[in-house]
Structure 1
């Protein structure tokens, strides 16, 4: 017979959307519906005699990201800018993503610029959200 302390799997409660907080431009963002960020290092195997690699080489590091905000969040950011300015004119700023659940805590940080802004809406939409690409400058600092 199972007891209340028995885990369904080895991880227990797992992280979900309600486990993260995103802070950018000195405030926690509430009107966010999606966040993506990743990095990779260009690599290739080095071949020598025979069929198997003898080593590997590394090239450039690349990080990229995107953020989806509700129109109201975009408008709030826009109001903080001088008239006529675009999101791409905001100076690079840190983005801090905090994960917290079941006693687990982790923080990722990176410096980014918003590459642009737009509006995409169609008949029947109940809310308006827009996904903008982020240019990540430097590297993503995982678990700092």
Structure 2
């Protein structure tokens, strides 16, 4: 099979947080969903469907120095407390020379959990922090919203 150019890789991902472009980020994941439930009447075949709520969430792993920068901004956005911050966008851009640019916008994110810190002897990266977040508006997947209004 022939090699047809370079695909997106970690080097091609840029993440913008309220504290600026994240350079000390080692992972970001996000997803959304909306449940569909079959609606039945007489018989055993669905006669339609109902929709559940739209939900979106994500997580990211930050090096300790990146977390410290984000923490200061979140506290400022929350009147001094980290969890009281106002919702903020996270922008994830994928770009390289061989493929088109892709920009996903995670609108109105609220951090819901921090996990990590600490370390052990021999760690080359002590104290990474995992941040989980809820996304309160539909994700815009490269210009296409997951849900309207």
Smaller-chain TM-score range? 0.7 to 0.9
CA distance in 1, matches of 2:94, 2:109: 19
Aligned match of 1:21:
14
Structure 2 gaps, min length 5: 144-149
Which of 103, 111, 114 does residue 114 from structure 1 map onto? 111
The aligned length equals 136
Deviation at 1:115, TM superposition (A): 2.2
SS at match of 1:39: strand
CA distance in 2, matches of 1:49, 1:15: 50
Output the aligned Cα RMSD: 2.4
Question: Structure 1 length normalisation: TM-score?
Answer: 0.80
SS at match of 1:112: strand
- Paired residues of 1:36 and 1:66 also in contact (CA < 8 A): yes
CA distance in 2, matches of 1:85, 1:35: 26
Deviation at 1:18, TM superposition (A): 1.3
Question: Structure 2 length normalisation: TM-score?
Answer: 0.77
- Paired residues of 1:95 and 1:109 also in contact (CA < 8 A): yes
Q: Does 1:31 align with 2:28?
A: no
Larger Rg: 1
